[in-house]
Amino acid sequence: MAGEKKDVRIFETDDELSDGLAKYTVEIFRKLTQQKSNFTVVLSGGYLIQKLRKLVEPPYVDEIDWSKWHVFWVDERVVMKDDPDSNYRLANEGFLSKVPIPPAQIYAINDNLDAEGAADDYEAKVKELVEHGVVDVSPHTKFPRFDLMLLGIGHDGHLASLFPNHELLQEKEKWVTFIKDSPKPPPVRITFTFPVINASAYIFMVVAGTAEVDAVKKAVEVILNYLNFINVVNWPKERGEELGIGDIWKSTKRRGTLRNVTYITDDIRREAQTMSLIDHPNVVKGYCSFVVEHSFG
């Protein structure tokens, strides 16, 4: 899949967005299951689940062999599964209960553990599935390589439970970590780390709503300003690392390229031209926390 690029797809209405998301999910499922028997999908919370509504309706629901699906969460609030704040509950009521995925292939967090214990337990679960061949591994990074991440984005640009300017943006070793001071309630959560998100084969970022669009637009502008400045002044590596943008420096020097990312958007026709600039080689971090799959050539 090397060499595949980001694609921006804009829809006029919410129904068209939901239909497009279902269509592209079916396409990726068909493509990847020609090569293997498992299809590993990572869900987020928020508005993303509601946007999946067309996937559980004909014709799309009948075009998927749901027995091949293995479902994970990019992040979860450390609450009981029946709590209104639970991402599991949201996904179960709006999506999972409507399709015949085997219950043993739906991997929720252990809600009997505290944040640190739940994060360690979820990482151990993913590692076990890697050992059993259910989840692939990125040959480049050795992090788990999920087939498809279906993600939304927050008003402030946060992805998963990784928030702008938070210290967890710098986590490079763990697969799953926890946060106890989330800027958005509830404060205690677990989350996949950026290296895991980055290792995904495909990421669908569903950007719906004016505030979310503004976050994407501002992030792109900041990234391009950094890159232009770095190129002009021959940015020293140490200074980039000091400011927390070392990866941008590295990708500029090593020709990092985005790949395998689809932005599925509505209400953003005015931003389409700006968003297309994301093809510029970069790794996003620091200001806005949506980081997408990249490869170094």
User: What distance in Å separates the CA atoms of residue 7 and residue 258, rounded to the nearest whole number?
Assistant: 10
User: Quick check: 88 and 76 in contact, CB under 8 A?
Assistant: yes
Look at residue 149 and tell me if it is in a domain: yes
Please give the pLDDT value at position 229.
41
Please give the pLDDT value at position 255.
30
Which residues on neighbouring strands pair with residue 265, listed in sequence order? Answer: 10, 207
Most confident listed range (5-19, 21-35, 152-166, 206-220):
21-35
Model confidence at 210, pLDDT cuts 50, 70, 90, reads: low
Domain count across the chain: 1
Look at residue 280 and tell me if it is in a domain: no
User: What distance in Å separates the CA atoms of residue 246 and residue 287, rounded to the nearest whole number?
Assistant: 13
pLDDT, average across residues 161-179:
89
pLDDT tens by residue, 225-253: 544 443 433 334 454 444 444 443 333 33
Please give the pLDDT value at position 249.
34
Give the residue from 117, 119, 93, 92 showing the smallest Cα distance to 106. Answer: 92
Look at residue 65 and tell me if it is in a domain: yes
Rounded (5°) CA angle 48-200-278: 75
Is-cis flag, bond preceding 186, omega within 30?
yes
Please give the pLDDT value at position 7.
63
Please give the pLDDT value at position 290.
32
User: What distance in Å separates the CA atoms of residue 105 and residue 103, rounded to the nearest whole number?
Assistant: 5
149: left (phi over 0), alpha (psi -120 to 50) or beta: beta
For the chain, what percent of residues have pLDDT higher than 70?
Answer: 67
Please give the pLDDT value at position 211.
57
Look at residue 154 and tell me if it is in a domain: yes
pLDDT, average across residues 188-212:
84
- Identify the sign of the CA torsion 45, 58, 201, 264: negative
Please give the pLDDT value at position 297.
25
CATH of the domain at 170: 3.40.50.1360
Look at residue 277 and tell me if it is in a domain: no
Model confidence at 3, pLDDT cuts 50, 70, 90, reads: very low
Look at residue 182 and tell me if it is in a domain: yes
Most confident listed range (13-17, 121-125, 199-203, 292-296):
121-125
Burial 209-238 (b: 16+ CB within 10 A, else e): beebbebbbebbebbeebbeebeeeebeee
pLDDT, average across residues 276-296:
30
Please give the pLDDT value at position 287.
26
DSSP the chain: -TT---EEEEESSHHHHHHHHHHHHHHHHHHHHTT-S-EEEEE--TTHHHHTGGGGSTTGGGGS-GGGEEEEESEEESS-TTSTT-HHHHHHHHTGGGS---GGGB----TTS-HHHHHHHHHHHHHHHHHTTSSEE-TTT-SEE-SEEEE---TT--BTTB-TT-GGGG--S-SEEEES--SSSS--EEEE-HHHHHT-SEEEEEEESHHHHHHHHHHHHHHHHHHHHHHHHT--HHHHHHTT-HHHHHHHHHTEEE-SEEEEEES-GGGHHHHHGGGSS----SSS-----EEE-
Query: How many other CB atoms sit within 10 Å of the CB of residue 173?
Result: 8
Note down the domain range covering 151: 5-229+286-293
pLDDT tens by residue, 55-92: 999 999 999 999 999 999 999 999 999 999 999 999 99
Please give the pLDDT value at position 8.
65
Please give the pLDDT value at position 77.
96
| Average pLDDT over the chain, rounded to an integer | 76
Whole-prediction pTM = 0.76
pLDDT tens by residue, 9-31: 777 788 888 998 999 999 999 99
Most confident listed range (50-64, 242-256, 259-273):
50-64
Look at residue 271 and tell me if it is in a domain: no
Look at residue 107 and tell me if it is in a domain: yes
pLDDT, average across residues 99-117:
97
